[in-house]
Chains A and B, each alone.
Chain A
């Protein structure tokens, strides 16, 4: 919410970017932010608590479920939380009249939100599997998520940055999501829809497999 406020606030002082008002410029990225953070919080702090303090995983593994089922369940739950918060954000943006495309574009946008939730939930499970304690998540958030938050083109176009920043940015899954979101929400031309989508799907698959195997390694002894 405060992001949105910030957008309106700062937007007032800024000139239009790429031909649209600042708030319009950031709207597509703003949908991705809660999608990223909801899943990340759920599958770090939430999952870590269930795994260690509450010993929920031990209980679940005494049932026919395997570690794979368990971790997939956690990831789906994280992605669902992302879908909920992302939907709320999208609804606000729609109400604010910032959706420039057809209302039907809500469908690909929500799929995108869910995919991002899935991706970051998987990434968070990796962090959870590696984490010795809650402190570890501070590093995860500040060293991995915060850079994505700033350098994925949500708040400023990447075109003005040096080449290396662009390269790094393109390695971040969130950048691809923001570009896709811009295409669907604001009709901004983007020629790499397909490849960006494939990048997101590939990351999701890799992260989730890695998450499963690292959690397995951590709890099955």
Chain B
């Protein structure tokens, strides 16, 4: 294990009854990086993360966090980890402020220190003016922000975020992104799961795309997209789903010299290439209704890799 690795998993497997939720995955996460797990519902992201923070015991494989084995040093590992769970679990009987200070007690933090830190963190996530509110009186976005503040109460070395912005409005989402980027600048290692490809592109140094318990692809988002599908996408929206498509695709074959790949999904043909402009010039002549030329995104890659059911 290299000294800059903070989390190392080898052949990590988790089986629930007859469901293999995580199927022998291996990955390494380095100090100070933000590592994202992407994948459709049920891919095994949450399960992987739960093994990292010692909630779920491994079925098999090896998992080392901060140099410690998750099967043995659970208490010590949990001391250096902060967790933002997928499902909100704040204490509804306590105020916003008390939720933080009581949580700190579980880490044996001295009261005075915890109170000071709670105020700082509430300020950090813009919740200071709601510190005496009851949990049931604050919005979903505020709850997520509070969960982030709570996860930072123990000054963790690794922050685990399971869908930190799911269900939030754009304002709240952008605020959270900003805060997470600040944390990253300060050297925090982060593990993130998300369904928003933009979020992964904005925050993650590296991502792993998972499906059915396996990692399909891992790497830097930009590089992955460029390597796997090219830099640009042309979307052709069809009027008539059936007839047009066959003809169009046959027509596309004549531009083979531009080197591109294409895929048809329902009423749209996606053309992936590294030289969209020239290709576009050539195909404007083909009869069609809408053309959209845009940079390729992680979402294109994601759908290509995991959207099997829709393709072909």
Interface residues of A (CB under 8 A from B): 54-56, 58-66, 220-221
* Residue in B closest to A53 when the chains form the complex, CB atoms: B92
Whether B91 and A54, one on each chain, are in contact in the complex, defined by CB atoms closer than 8 angstroms, is: yes
Whether A64 and B75, one on each chain, are in contact in the complex, defined by CB atoms closer than 8 angstroms, is: yes
Whether A59 and B89, one on each chain, are in contact in the complex, defined by CB atoms closer than 8 angstroms, is: yes
Main secondary structure of the interface of A (DSSP, over half): loop
Task: Kindly state the separation between the CA atoms of A131 and B90 in the bound complex, as whole angstroms.
Answer: 23
Whether A64 and B55, one on each chain, are in contact in the complex, defined by CB atoms closer than 8 angstroms, is: no
* Residue in B closest to A55 when the chains form the complex, CB atoms: B89
Known: A63-B107, A64-B107, A220-B56. A58 touches B75 (CB 8 A): no
Known: A58-B85, A220-B55, A220-B56. A63 touches B91 (CB 8 A): no
**9 closest residue pairs by CB, A with B:** A55-B89, A63-B106, A59-B89, A62-B83, A64-B75, A64-B78, A64-B79, A58-B89, A65-B106
Q: Which residues of A contact B83 (CB under 8 A)?
A: 62
Q: List 18 A-B contacts (CB under 8 A).
A: A56-B89, A58-B55, A58-B87, A58-B89, A59-B85, A59-B89, A59-B90, A59-B91, A62-B78, A62-B85, A63-B106, A63-B154, A64-B76, A64-B108, A65-B106, A66-B75, A220-B55, A221-B16
* Residue in A closest to B85 when the chains form the complex, CB atoms: A58
Q: How distant is B237 from chain A, measured CB to nearest CB, in Å?
A: 44
Task: Kindly state the separation between the CA atoms of A34 and B95 in the bound complex, as whole angstroms.
Answer: 30
- Please tell me which one of the listed residues A56, A61, A62, A65 contacts residue B91 in the complex, with CB atoms under 8 A apart: A56
Judge if B157 is at the interface, Cβ distance under 8 Å.
no
Whether A54 and B89, one on each chain, are in contact in the complex, defined by CB atoms closer than 8 angstroms, is: yes
Task: Kindly state the separation between the CA atoms of A65 and B103 in the bound complex, as whole angstroms.
Answer: 11
Q: How distant is A22 from chain B, measured CB to nearest CB, in Å?
A: 41
Whether A66 and B74, one on each chain, are in contact in the complex, defined by CB atoms closer than 8 angstroms, is: yes
Known: A66-B74, A221-B16. A60 touches B106 (CB 8 A): yes
A54-B89, A55-B85, A58-B87 given; 12 more Cβ-contact pairs under 8 Å: A54-B91, A55-B89, A58-B55, A58-B89, A59-B89, A59-B91, A63-B103, A63-B154, A64-B78, A64-B106, A65-B106, A220-B57
Task: Kindly state the separation between the CA atoms of A183 and B107 in the bound complex, as whole angstroms.
Answer: 44
Q: When each residue 68-91 of chain B gets 1 if its CB lies under 8 Å from chain A and 0 otherwise, what string results?
A: 000000111011010101011111
Whether A55 and B87, one on each chain, are in contact in the complex, defined by CB atoms closer than 8 angstroms, is: yes
Whether B55 and A62, one on each chain, are in contact in the complex, defined by CB atoms closer than 8 angstroms, is: yes
Q: When each residue 175-186 of chain B gets 1 if its CB lies under 8 Å from chain A and 0 otherwise, what string results?
A: 000000000000
Task: Kindly state the separation between the CA atoms of A64 and B57 in the bound complex, as whole angstroms.
Answer: 15
Task: Kindly state the separation between the CA atoms of A220 and B107 in the bound complex, as whole angstroms.
Answer: 21
Task: Kindly state the separation between the CA atoms of A63 and B81 in the bound complex, as whole angstroms.
Answer: 8
Q: How distant is A91 from chain B, measured CB to nearest CB, in Å?
A: 27
* Residue in A closest to B99 when the chains form the complex, CB atoms: A59
Q: Which residues of A contact B85 (CB under 8 A)?
A: 55, 58-59, 62
Known: A64-B75, A64-B79. A59 touches B103 (CB 8 A): yes
Q: Which residues of A contact B117 (CB under 8 A)?
A: none
Task: Kindly state the separation between the CA atoms of A61 and B53 in the bound complex, as whole angstroms.
Answer: 9
* Residue in B closest to A62 when the chains form the complex, CB atoms: B83
Q: Which residues of A contact B74 (CB under 8 A)?
A: 66
Task: Kindly state the separation between the CA atoms of A65 and B55 in the bound complex, as whole angstroms.
Answer: 11
Q: How distant is A65 from chain B, measured CB to nearest CB, in Å?
A: 5
Q: Which residues of B contact A65 (CB under 8 A)?
A: 106
Q: Which residues of B contact A62 (CB under 8 A)?
A: 53, 55, 78, 81, 83, 85
Among the interface residues A56, A60, A61, A62, which one has the most CB atoms of the partner chain B within 10 A?
A62
Q: Which residues of B contact A58 (CB under 8 A)?
A: 55, 85, 87, 89
Q: How distant is B296 from chain A, measured CB to nearest CB, in Å?
A: 37
Task: Kindly state the separation between the CA atoms of A221 and B58 in the bound complex, as whole angstroms.
Answer: 9
Q: Which residues of A contact B81 (CB under 8 A)?
A: 62
Q: Which residues of A contact B90 (CB under 8 A)?
A: 59
Q: Which residues of B contact A59 (CB under 8 A)?
A: 85, 89-91, 103
Whether B87 and A54, one on each chain, are in contact in the complex, defined by CB atoms closer than 8 angstroms, is: no
Q: How distant is A221 from chain B, measured CB to nearest CB, in Å?
A: 6
Q: How distant is A54 from chain B, measured CB to nearest CB, in Å?
A: 6
Q: Which residues of A contact B55 (CB under 8 A)?
A: 58, 61-62, 220
Q: How distant is B150 from chain A, measured CB to nearest CB, in Å?
A: 8
Task: Kindly state the separation between the CA atoms of A62 and B87 in the bound complex, as whole angstroms.
Answer: 13
Near A by CB (< 8 A), chain B positions 141-155 give 154
